[in-house]
Amino acid sequence: SLWALHFSLVKLVDADQNPFSILIPLLLILCILFFCILKLSNKLFKFTYKKLLFFIIAGTFAYIIPLSVEFLVAPKIDAGILTLIVSSVPVFTLLLVWTLRLIKVNLRLILGTFSGLIGISLIVLGNNNNSLNLWLIASIIVPLSFAFNAVFMEKYWPSNLNSLQMAFGECLTSLIFILFLNLLVKGNLTNNIIEYVEWLFIPNFWFLTFITFLEVSLYFFLLNRIGAVFINIG
């Protein structure tokens, strides 16, 4: 339910002109929320070089790549179609874990996953109002990125971190990385502060932020317990 609502809100905020402008305040608020929870529960942790590298890779494929693509393609295609395309995540996840031999893949899992993919394809390709175009093809980057992220995090999850600590670390490193990219591209972040602050006065932005917070929290909680394949099928 959160997954579906997330993509509807991404379409409503209409940030295709500059995806980074919304990612910065969104990730900043997520960082503040996770920091406050960890501080109150006395679960703050130290960043090591190994953890930092882990979070940079995870954050790139969890936030920077998929969210940038989402904001770019969302205004061009229906939210329902985008959600259906991203629902192909379990197929790519299954292929990755099969290739890396992380789990034993049986015939029932293969048939169930690919029958779902066929159903999604029939809806996407059979919609008269949404013929296959470059925006639909570009949106496939999102499930590819999510699939890689889930498999990577399950395989290399630091043993001494819980789900909320993982969520905070990924959000923080992603925020720092995006700020650095913006600095390289635009040269001066202060010139864009107004653009970032403007999102704080848009109700749909706050709905998106709250839903993303719940979605990320639940995702890490389940990923740590049932694994990448089964959470992505869900």
Question: Nearest-CA neighbor of 48 among 164, 159, 154?
Answer: 159
What pLDDT score was predicted for residue 231? 78
* Residue with the larger pLDDT of the pair 133 and 150: 150
Longest alpha-carbon distance in the chain? 56
What pLDDT score was predicted for residue 150? 87
pLDDT, one tens digit per residue, over 162-180 is: 999 999 999 998 898 888 8
- Residues belonging to the chain: 234
Q: Using pLDDT thresholds of 50, 70 and 90, give the confidence band for residue 138.
A: confident
* Residue with the larger pLDDT of the pair 153 and 32: 32
Query: Can you tell me the mean pLDDT for 120-127?
Result: 67
Which segment of 30-39, 107-116, 120-129, 153-162 scores lowest on mean pLDDT? 120-129
- pLDDT more than 90, % of the chain: 21
Q: In sequence order, what DSSP letters do the residues of 49-67 get, joined into one string?
A: HHHHHHHHHHHIIIIIHHH
Q: Evaluate if residue 129 carries a pLDDT over 70.
A: no
Q: Are 155 and 99 in contact (CB under 8 A)?
A: no
Residue type, 3: W
Q: Evaluate if residue 34 carries a pLDDT over 70.
A: yes
Quote the CA–CA distance of 191 and 214 in Å, as a whole number: 32
Q: Using pLDDT thresholds of 50, 70 and 90, give the confidence band for residue 11.
A: confident
Q: Evaluate if residue 38 carries a pLDDT over 80.
A: yes
Q: Are 43 and 162 in contact (CB under 8 A)?
A: yes
What pLDDT score was predicted for residue 106? 79
For 64, residues 6+ apart whose C-beta sits below 8 A from its C-beta are: 23, 174, 177, 178
What pLDDT score was predicted for residue 139? 84
pTM: 0.76
Q: Are 223 and 154 in contact (CB under 8 A)?
A: yes
Quote the CA–CA distance of 132 and 216 in Å, as a whole number: 30
pLDDT, one tens digit per residue, over 181-217 is: 777 766 666 667 777 888 888 888 999 999 999 998 9
* H/E stretch holding 70: helix 65-73
What pLDDT score was predicted for residue 68? 81
Average per-residue pLDDT for the chain: 82
Burial class (CB in 10 A: 0-12, 13-18, 19+), 146: buried
Quote the CA–CA distance of 189 and 206 in Å, as a whole number: 22
C-alpha Rg value of the chain to the nearest Å: 18
Crossing angle (nearest 10°) for helices 141-156 and 65-73: 160
Question: Nearest-CA neighbor of 102 among 170, 60, 177, 152?
Answer: 152
pLDDT, one tens digit per residue, over 71-115 is: 788 778 777 777 777 777 877 887 777 777 776 777 887 787 777
What pLDDT score was predicted for residue 186? 66
Query: Can you tell me the mean pLDDT for 58-69?
Result: 85
